[in-house]
Chains A and B, each alone.
Chain A
Amino acid sequence: MNLEKLKSKLNSRATLRAITAIVIFLILWEFGSRSEQILGFRLPWIGLVPAPSGVFAAWAGLLGDTSYWGSWYLSAKRVFTGFFVAMLLGIPFGLYMAVNRTFNDIAFPTFEILRPIPPLAWVPASIIFWPTAEMSIAFVTFLGAFYTIVINVLGGAKSIDTRFFQAAESMGASQWDIFRRVVLPATLPSIVVGSAVGMGITWEVVVAAEMISGGGGSGGAGGGLGFFIWNSYLGGSYEQIVVGMLSIGIAGYLSSEGLRKLGGYFTPWLKTR
């Protein structure tokens, strides 16, 4: 049944349209990049961009290169570490704020004041504070994901229908029971959403941190896809820049989708909607 569905989806009109748009885009891009050759004068902006043909050729070449995949590994490692810690700290923090009024009134305003400071603005402070460059990147990554997860957990926990609590209490549940069996599962969907969004932000921060620490010359943390892009730029291999960009895009997409699927596994009741 699933294979059937996949087949029909791939053949459908929607897929056809999507592919048409992408192909047209690639053609226009190719044309624009080669505008100097074809038209005799270079189109602004597009004319300076490396052509898709070059990009795909470079990419094919890189597929066999271990350091390319090494970059994937390094970035992914940073993303997941920072993200994991953010979840570990953020979920309880958010849940506690939702459950305990006083704690919320104490902690939330401070949290809200610190939130508009972009995580990257923390980089220098982070570098000063943490002993290694790797830890400073991890800290900034953690911050990026932390805010999103907390906000989503808070939102999810606050919107739990009070009737669920009443039902549980009338059936004799203790406070801990209520937390484990009502608050936690009911907030799970929001946690999943928050995680998927937080994941995207984490990739942003990791790439930014890799480029800044790699490109800013403060040394230390090497490798990673962000560094790969910056390095390619400095080395003049422009096709590789685009390869790097698309690679990160794919990596980010895969991790978000993976998280969503994982979340779906933990929240089977949502599928029946």
Chain B
Amino acid sequence: MEKLETTAWSMAMYRVSMWLKSPKPYLMVIGFGFVLSFWYLSVEIFKLPRFESMPGLTEVWTEYWSKDPYYGLSVYTPEYYKHIGISLRRIAYAFLLATVLGVPLGLFLGWSKKFREYIFPLFEIFRPIPILAWVPLAIIMFSGSETPVIFLTFLASFFATTLNTMLGVDSIDEEYTRAAYCLGASDWQTFRQVIIPGSMPYIFTGLQISIGVAWFSLVAGEMVSGQYGLGYVINTAYTMVTYPTIIIGMITLGVIGYITSAMVRMVGDYMMQWRVRELALGAN
């Protein structure tokens, strides 16, 4: 009997090497180059109408890397990292709280038909309300400027996480729960041994969506009320007419958003070794 040895790491390394040999990385660079050169040309060289009032590529780039930035924010200024840190902290609180509350709620909604019939309609009444519509109410309810922002972010995350977790439970093939009962498992054991692991793929997809909407809400919240944070940076840069900073803020958001999402995905991959290996070997 052959021993099948695949580790997620060796599979990943193999796929990276294959990727580098393909035309993919070069096409990707072409794509970036196209967008960046369009930006550069339309703003700074051809000075197309509407485009010319936008901050240009070189302007943003030099600003970003300058030791004494004209508008106050660059890689070298501590304020830059302060804003990043504050946004990250808010995301962390909101996201973790939403996960801790949302996952069990979603699991329970999926598992117990009775509970679902009671609670899900109520949940569905609140869910379509856009997060920003909660701003005034949040300001009224919570004192200070920090809590409303975190509350809004939490809310967005919470709805996404709960819903996806519930769908995750729904997605579990009936045969797995039947097999568990057959083999002598009790209700609680089935819940722990089948439902929870079985919903994991959906839960983690949900968490990735959840962190995406968390950033969405956070930025909105920071733009409307609050001090510090990347949303605040962007909004202030606009009102203070320090336009290159807007772009710096946006790019930072993009990068940090991507990194946090990737982190969630990596945690998921780590916790679901079985799925990584299964996917790596391809469907068989």
Contact A25 B24 (CB under 8 A): no
B53 contacts partner chain A, Cβ-Cβ < 8 Å = yes
Q: Which of B133, B139, B141 has the most CB of A within 10 A?
A: B133
A1 contacts partner chain B, Cβ-Cβ < 8 Å = no
Interface membership of chain A positions 229-264, coded 1 if the CB is closer than 8 angstroms to chain B and 0 otherwise: 110110000100110111011101100100000000
Q: Which residues of A contact B254 (CB under 8 A)?
A: 113-117
Task: Given A120-B216, A242-B137, check contact A128 B130 (CB 8 Å).
Answer: no
Partner of B141, one of A49, A113, A249: A49
Contact A22 B258 (CB under 8 A): no
Bound-complex Cα distance A116 to B239 (A)? 23
Closest B residue to A232 using CB positions: B136
Contact A229 B136 (CB under 8 A): yes
Partner of B224, one of A18, A206, A215: A215
Q: How far is the CB of B235 from chain A (nearest CB, A)?
A: 7
Contact B133 A127 (CB under 8 A): no
A207 contacts partner chain B, Cβ-Cβ < 8 Å = yes
Task: Given A49-B141, A113-B258, check contact A245 B133 (CB 8 Å).
Answer: yes
Closest A residue to B147 using CB positions: A45
Contact A109 B140 (CB under 8 A): no
Contact A125 B133 (CB under 8 A): no
Contact B243 A109 (CB under 8 A): no
Q: How far is the CB of A74 from chain B (nearest CB, A)?
A: 15
B64 contacts partner chain A, Cβ-Cβ < 8 Å = no
Task: Given A120-B216, A238-B140, check contact A204 B246 (CB 8 Å).
Answer: no
Contact B141 A116 (CB under 8 A): no
Task: Given A204-B216, A238-B140, A242-B137, check contact A21 B223 (CB 8 Å).
Answer: no
Closest B residue to A19 using CB positions: B121
Name the prevailing secondary structure of the A interface residues. helix
A20 contacts partner chain B, Cβ-Cβ < 8 Å = yes
Name the prevailing secondary structure of the B interface residues. helix
Task: Given A105-B27, A106-B27, check contact A118 B54 (CB 8 Å).
Answer: no
Q: Which residues of B contact A17 (CB under 8 A)?
A: 114, 117-118
Contact A105 B24 (CB under 8 A): yes
Q: How far is the CB of A49 from chain B (nearest CB, A)?
A: 6
B107 contacts partner chain A, Cβ-Cβ < 8 Å = no
Contact A216 B136 (CB under 8 A): no
Contact B34 A129 (CB under 8 A): no
A212 contacts partner chain B, Cβ-Cβ < 8 Å = yes
Contact B253 A116 (CB under 8 A): yes
Q: How far is the CB of B280 from chain A (nearest CB, A)?
A: 18
Q: How far is the CB of A119 from chain B (nearest CB, A)?
A: 7
Interface membership of chain B positions 236-264, coded 1 if the CB is closer than 8 angstroms to chain A and 0 otherwise: 01110001001101110111111001000
For the complex of A and B, list the 10 residue pairs with the smallest distance between their C-beta atoms, beginning with the closest: A116-B257, A124-B238, A233-B136, A105-B27, A18-B121, A249-B129, A252-B128, A208-B132, A106-B31, A109-B28
Can you offer 28 A-B residue contacts whose CB atoms are under 8 A?
A: A17-B114, A49-B137, A49-B141, A105-B23, A105-B24, A106-B31, A112-B258, A113-B254, A113-B258, A115-B254, A116-B215, A116-B258, A121-B249, A125-B246, A129-B53, A203-B130, A204-B130, A207-B132, A211-B224, A212-B223, A212-B224, A216-B223, A230-B135, A233-B135, A233-B140, A248-B129, A248-B133, A252-B128
